[in-house]
Structure 1
Amino acid sequence: MDTAKKEFIKKQFLVGVGAIIFVLPYNLLITPMHLYSGNFTGIAQILRTLLVDYAHVALPRGFDITGIILFLINIPLLTLAFLKLGKFFFVKTVITTALISLFFSLIPVPAEPIISDPLTACLIGGVVAGFGAGMILREGSSGGGLDILGMYFAQKRPNFSVGKVVVIVAIFVFTTCLFLYDFEVVVYSAIFTFTSSFALDRFHYQTVKVSAFIVTSNPEVANVITQDLSRGGTEWTGQGVYSHTKMHVYMTVLSKYEVNKLRRKVHALDPHSFIAFQTVSAIEGYFQPHL
């Protein structure tokens, strides 16, 4: 088995672990408390509630249909991913979405949550769900839903904020919850959503932008930036202060989760290269978000 296949299998294994971690707090904490997440999973939860509590669809005890509904509402988005975001991204997203749907169906939902206090359950559940989602994203995969919409709109409109889609979906979910349940459910659902989003940002570095300054004697470093990372950059010709050797100086901006890849490939080309990283507080102009 070649290195590429081994790396793919390793990544898919970690994606599977992330999918389990992501689903566990939903089935063990959030669903038994009748709480919701302000994302596409929340939409699937609402549809499940309408089917089970209002349409009285009979389901086996402990079985949650949320995963099946989530996969079905992701089908139009998966089509969008196939047409607009590339076949490799599509394949990884289908695998991850199928795993999440499978674990939603296999992990039994207890009659009572394993943590009885709602606030504690929302905080712990949010951290665990965010960690699981972060694992999936850090391995270059996607659970569908907002990830696909965010990538698509970011490509169509460079200055588009993915947060706008998140806010719109969250408003829809929580407004619907007001009609189905009381205000307390909305409050705890919002706490869970905020905590999971905060944890996701901590465990996944896509939202953190980093500028990199590279000083090297190997001009092939430019290919690492443009081809391996699909980033733009600026090049200068410099000279060593002591050695007076001609050097190539590159500046680029990338997401924090791409830093290790850049460092590894640059040092493979030039073990004596010098790289300086700095966190960027804001960017003006076009910056392509990579998943």
Structure 2
Amino acid sequence: MDDVQKLIRRHQSITKASTAFIYAILVSIAMNFFWTPGHIYSSGITGLAQLLTTVSSQTMPVTISTALGLLVLNIPLFFVAWKNIGRNFTIFTIISVVLASIMIKSLNPIHLTTDPIICAIFGGAVNGFGTGTALKNGISTGGLDILGIVIRRKTGKSIGTINIIFNMFIVVAAGFEYGWPYAFYSVIGLVVNARVMDMVYTRQQRMQVMIITDRPKTVIDSVQNHIRRGITIVHDAEGAYHHDTKTILFTVISRYEMSELEEAMEESDPKAFVSISDTVKILGHFYEPKL
């Protein structure tokens, strides 16, 4: 049994390391092929590293590269992650950030276009896909991801406000440096980045599930074998058409778990009526697997 667990852990580590490498390639493509030629700033610590490069090139004898700035700015956050989140999480975060810095520095850009709208859209899409893929596979890309996890664990609140303020600072800096049209182009890139990331990383999207069945025990056993979720049972519901007795089951899942829910329902009661809707807000405990 120990050998099997070691094999599983080794496979997970290889998957995470491979994902970190893929993310590094994608963020370097976004940076070197789109953002830099189009004078577009990214979000979060990456955008701050770009800003540091711009300021240092104008005010200092030595220019601090975006690759170096990205690594240096993340170092204090590595200590925060090590202390508050965990060793394994921090190690793979360091790997992803170091690989990203190396790839940004070493990948030779190919001149595609300097059109700011194209650069904003495609840079945001490429980076959003890379970041979403990393988060989906249980690794962080550093930066505000770390603060978001720590704040959510300690207070139950999201980092949304901090994200907005931080990114507004980046956008205003883009406006002062390249002109206000470029600030709005950067906003386009931020929106595209966020939308693509949400399409790929679905773990944080909550959905309410209502199941109407006449085989409640079988359905509950099957769902809980596939997904670690609590289920609320409403007995003695009545169908309006045949007036037969039904049971209503309620639960909340993440969009990431949708395929497992479908598999569980197919196994337990293919004829059950299942209604799924997006959840706007949850009060109370909702289990999230630890990273």
TM-score (norm 2): 0.78
| Structure 2 equivalent of residue 72 of structure 1 | 72
Q: Amino acid of the residue matched to residue 177 of structure 2? A: L
Matches within 5 A, 1:7-156: 7-57=12-62, 65-109=65-109, 113-156=111-154
Q: What CA distance in whole angstroms lies between the structure 2 residues aligned with 1:55 and 1:284?
A: 49
**Secondary structure of residue in 1 paired with 2:61:** coil
Where do 1:238-253 residues align within 5 Å? 251-253=250-252
- From the superposition, tell whether residues 58 and 75 of structure 1 become closer, same or farther in structure 2 (CA, over 3 Å): closer
Question: Following the alignment from structure 2 to structure 1, what is the Cα–Cα distance between the partners of residues 42 and 220?
Answer: 48
**Distance in 1 of aligned mates of 2:61 and 2:38:** 19
Whichever residue aligns with residue 8 of structure 1, its letter is: S
One-letter identity of the residue aligned with 2:145: D
**In angstroms, what is the RMSD of aligned CA positions?**
3.3
Cα deviation for residue 282 of structure 1 reads 1.4
Give the conservation status (yes or no) of the 8 Å contact 1:130–1:200. yes
- For residue 57 of structure 1, give the secondary structure of its aligned residue in structure 2: coil
Once the 2 structures are TM-superposed, how far is the Cα of residue 143 of structure 1 from its aligned partner? 0.3
* Displacement of 1:47: 0.8
For residues 68 and 237 of structure 1, what CA distance do their matches in structure 2 show?
57
Are 2:220 and 2:231, in contact at CA under 8 Å, matched by a contact in 1? no
Q: How does 1:161-172 map to 2 (within 5 A)?
A: 161-172=158-169
- Bigger fraction of residues in helix: 2
2: distance between equivalents of 1:254 and 1:73?
35
Count of residues in Structure 1 that have an aligned counterpart in Structure 2? 271
| Aligned ranges 1:122-271 → 2 under 5 Å | 122-158=120-156, 160-212=157-209, 215-217=216-218, 229=228, 233-236=230-233, 251-260=250-259, 271=267
Q: CA deviation at 1:238?
A: 6.7
Q: Answer with 273-282 or 137-146: which moved more.
A: 273-282
Mapped to 1, the partners of 2:282 and 2:206 lie a distance apart of 12
Instruction: Specify the alignment match of 1:272 in structure 2.
Output: 268
Amino acid at match of 2:187: A
Maintained 8 Å contact 2:23/2:134: yes
Cα deviation 1:118-174 (Å, max 9, x = unaligned): 21221122211111111111111110112111111112222x233212201111112
Relative to structure 1, the CA distance from residue 140 to residue 13 in structure 2 (aligned partners, 3 Å threshold; closer, same or farther) is same
> Gaps spanning 5+ residues in structure 2: where?
1-5, 239-246
